[in-house]
């Protein structure tokens, strides 16, 4: 099995002719993965941050089984169904009040593409087609489709190869003030200058609120985010917040934008939306964006085949209920405290450049690039699943993880420091 996998199947961000090792998974339950050879691994990644309730959860299993008995899929063009309506109602209630209108899609990257389309179509329908560029910051990551790639970091990101093929947008410096710090007089100058100079051509600003995820696991000031939101209003630029990685409690707030007390014009959700069971995403917007897109009988030109998949919607609805009925805030706070204490012991290590913790996210940044293949071999031998990238070894465990398992994860980080 593994030989066929190695020679015929591409895995993400790897070569198919010289692939990284892969470890066959037989089953998963709670916060543990069981490999085909019987090895048990404590999962520190929540399967790229989405399995917030852990694996094989009886409530989510039941939601899947119940929906399977009715229908697994039906096209959303000209039809609708109760799971989508129920989930939409939940999302409208959960998100800030102005976000009342929802477009479902099948992945986070696509939800970003939809958000960009919304912004472009909004201004086109206002008779302002010259407002066709996006503004964002360096260090960001928004997905791997062409629209999403165009607003990812074009220099240090994963898509430099495609720089000549994607749309050219405007980039401000990465927000330097760290989370919890106060803004200085000069922190906003670069972005204010770009808005002042280019506001007549900028359709929207897109940001990952508070946490820049796959672009570098950087946690920036809530004051910065709040100030940027005010600048967008001043210069009449739409604000898009990509909450795909941060939504549903990961930073200690239900949505990371709550740290700054702001509401975007457009919000993207994904990843933990279904608790890691199926791919599903949503793009929400306010009344102004809705009316702008719909002016002159405007039609939003997007329609994924598996849009609002009933099976995914039913599981997502159950996942949201499960989250809200749990004491998720206390669980995330407890994880944050433990990560702060246990990762903090690496602060003085010569190999460590920085340590950052926010909510259920713990990051150890090294001075040098990590050899991923060797690191994962060491992690698996230690009974944990951690997937580093670049100079970063980080943890984003399920909220349901116990303190003993989390300690094993934090201890395992020490393996790569040597």
242 flagged as catalytic? yes
Give whole-number Cα distances, 239 to 129, 198, 282, in Å: 17, 15, 16
Segment 46-69 mean pLDDT: 98
Local structure of residue 334 (DSSP, 8 states): H
Tell me the C-alpha distance between 382 and 117, whole Å: 46
User: Is the pLDDT reported for residue 314 higher than 80?
Assistant: yes
Catalytic residue among 13, 236, 327, 371: 13
141 flagged as catalytic? yes
User: Is the pLDDT reported for residue 2 higher than 80?
Assistant: no
Catalytic residue among 106, 138, 265, 271: 271
pLDDT on residue 1: 60
Please state, rounded to an integer, the average pLDDT across all residues of the chain. 96
Segment 370-387 mean pLDDT: 96
pTM: 0.97
254-273 residue pLDDT tens: 999 999 999 999 999 999 99
At residue 357, what are phi and psi to the nearest 5 degrees? -135, 135
Q: Which structure tokens are listed for 162?
A: 């495609």
User: Is the pLDDT reported for residue 28 higher than 80?
Assistant: yes
CATH class of 2-56+327-417: alpha beta
Catalytic residue among 55, 101, 138, 141: 141
pLDDT on residue 308: 98
Per the CB < 8 A criterion, the answer to whether 46 and 406 are in contact is no
Tell me the C-alpha distance between 207 and 75, whole Å: 32
Looking at per-residue pLDDT, the higher value among 217 and 20 belongs to 217
Given this chain, do its domains 2-56+327-417 and 70-324 carry the same CATH topology? Answer: no
138 flagged as catalytic? no
Catalytic residue among 43, 106, 242, 265: 242
pLDDT on residue 246: 98
User: Is the pLDDT reported for residue 159 higher than 80?
Assistant: no
Domain spans in the chain, listed from the N-terminal domain onward:
2-56+327-417, 70-324
271 flagged as catalytic? yes
C-beta atoms surrounding 22 within 10 Å: 13
Tell me the C-alpha distance between 141 and 212, whole Å: 7
Per the CB < 8 A criterion, the answer to whether 33 and 376 are in contact is no
Arch. (CATH architecture) of 70-324: 3-Layer(aba) Sandwich (3.40)
| Paired strand residues for 133 | 202
User: Is the pLDDT reported for residue 161 higher than 90?
Assistant: no
Any idea which residue has 């929802």 for tokens? 102
Quick one: what percent of the chain has pLDDT higher than 90?
94
């Amino acid at each position: 099995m593994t030989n066929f996998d190695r020679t015929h199947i591409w895995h993400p961000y790897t070569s198919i002719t010289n692939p990284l090792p892969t470890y066959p998974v037989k089953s998963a339950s709670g916060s543990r993965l069981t490999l085909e050879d019987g090895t048990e691994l404590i999962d520190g990644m929540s399967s790229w941050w989405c399995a917030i309730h852990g694996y094989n959860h009886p409530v989510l299993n039941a939601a899947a089984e119940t929906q399977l008995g009715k229908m697994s899929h039906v096209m959303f063009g000209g039809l609708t169904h109760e799971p989508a309506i129920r989930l939409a109602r939940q999302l409208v209630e959960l998100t800030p009040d102005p976000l009342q209108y929802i477009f479902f899609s099948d992945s986070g990257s696509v939800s970003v593409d939809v958000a960009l389309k919304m912004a472009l179509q909004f201004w086109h329908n206002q008779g302002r087609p010259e407002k066709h560029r996006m503004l964002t910051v360096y260090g960001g990551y928004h997905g791997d489709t062409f629209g999403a790639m165009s607003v990812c970091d074009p220099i240090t990101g994963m898509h430099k190869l495609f720089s000549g093929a994607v749309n050219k947008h405007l980039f401000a410096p990465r927000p330097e003030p760290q989370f919890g710090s106060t803004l200085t007089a000069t922190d906003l100058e670069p972005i204010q200058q770009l808005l002042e100079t280019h506001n007549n051509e900028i359709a929207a600003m897109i940001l990952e609120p508070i946490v820049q995820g796959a672009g570098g696991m950087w946690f920036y000031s809530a004051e910065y985010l709040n100030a940027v939101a005010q600048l967008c209003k001043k210069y009449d630029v739409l604000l898009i917040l990509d909450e795909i990685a941060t939504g549903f409690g990961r930073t200690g707030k239900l949505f990371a934008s709550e740290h700054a007390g702001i509401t975007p014009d457009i919000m993207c959700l994904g990843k933990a939306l279904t608790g890691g069971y199926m791919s599903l995403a949503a793009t929400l917007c306010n009344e102004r964006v809705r009316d702008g897109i719909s002016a002159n009988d405007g039609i939003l030109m997007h329609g994924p085949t598996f849009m609002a998949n009933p099976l995914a919607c039913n599981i997502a609805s159950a996942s949201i209920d499960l989250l809200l009925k749990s004491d998720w805030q206390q669980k995330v706070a407890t994880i944050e405290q433990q990560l702060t204490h246990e990762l903090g012991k690496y602060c003085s290590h010569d190999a460590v450049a920085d340590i950052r913790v926010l909510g259920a996210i713990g990051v150890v940044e090294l001075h040098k690039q990590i050899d991923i293949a060797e690191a994962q071999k060491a992690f698996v031998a230690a009974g944990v699943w951690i997937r580093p990238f670049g100079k970063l070894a980080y943890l984003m465990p399920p909220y349901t993880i116990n303190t003993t398992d989390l300690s094993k994860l934090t201890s395992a980080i020490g393996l790569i420091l040597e």
